[in-house]
Amino acid sequence: MTGSLIKNDGAGTAGFDGVNISGAWFAFLVACFFLNDFVFIMWSGTSTLYLADYVIRIIIIGLCLGLPLSRQVALNSISDQKLPLILIIILIPLLTGIERASHIIIEPAIIDAVGYTGLFYFGRIDSSALYAFDMTIGLALVAVSEELVFRKFALNWMRSRGMSALAIILLSVALFALMHWGSGLHRIAATFVFGVIAMAFYLRHTRLLPLITAHYLANFIAFADFD
């Protein structure tokens, strides 16, 4: 079963000790995110939306880490390049700021131009326990699952297909942005802009942790109730 989803390529095109995920496996993981918005629409504005999202994210991460070869791709690095600590310290807030700026600047402009096109909304969390869980574990699940699939797994498969750097950026970012289809055109556009920066960074440095951290911090700022 797993042989058809994940293949061991002796040529090692993507550098994961010769292991590349197949197009079918990558497409399946991406489809899980696209289908997730149907769940959001079904339970829009309710606490059930949050709970369903946690479950789906856990399933996606579990799928990435559950199969041995998939886990090898997920956990291994594709280069021996090390980023200096000072550069990481600079890059994380920079990436976080770019993510938030893309939403703050682009989303209002799109809404003014075409109106609000979102099909669901995240309701206020009244339970303090659920709020604490969402702002810690919940947002971490979002960052890990999305960066793992749309950055690491995307690069692994697309590079194994011999795609150019530009093609990798455009295709992976298009999937990453369109995965937010239920949130509306404004969210798709803003996500696309940040996705280009994120994938360009990942192509250059092949380090996922700064992106996961920046993704988490940006969402934390966006959803935090500072009142």
- pLDDT for 157-203, tens place per residue? 999 999 999 999 999 999 999 999 999 999 999 999 999 999 999 99
Q: Which of 49, 45, 47, 57 is nearest to 130 (CA)?
A: 47
Which residues pair with residue 21 across a beta bridge? 6
pLDDT category of residue 81 using cuts at 50, 70 and 90? low
Four-residue CA torsion sign, 78, 84, 85, 86: negative
Tokens (6 digits) for 87: 């550069």
Domain definitions of the chain by residue range: 2-223
Give me the pLDDT at residue 19, please: 84
Q: Give the angle 36-93-176 at the CA atoms, nearest 5°.
A: 25
d(C-alpha 30, C-alpha 19), whole Å:
19
Give me the pLDDT at residue 226, please: 60
**In which residue are the tokens 């996500």 written?**
191
Buried b (16+ CB within 10 A) or exposed e, 29-61: bbebbeebbebbeebbeeeebbebbbebbeebb
Contact 219, 190 (CB under 8 A): no
d(C-alpha 99, C-alpha 106), whole Å:
11
Encode pLDDT of 107-154 as tens digits.
Answer: 999 999 999 999 999 999 999 999 999 999 999 999 999 999 999 999
pLDDT category of residue 10 using cuts at 50, 70 and 90? very low
Mean pLDDT score of the chain, rounded to an integer?
91
Buried b (16+ CB within 10 A) or exposed e, 191-215: bbbbbbbbbebbbebbbbebbbbbb
Above 90 in pLDDT, residue 6? no
Q: 226 φ, ψ to 5°?
A: -85, 0
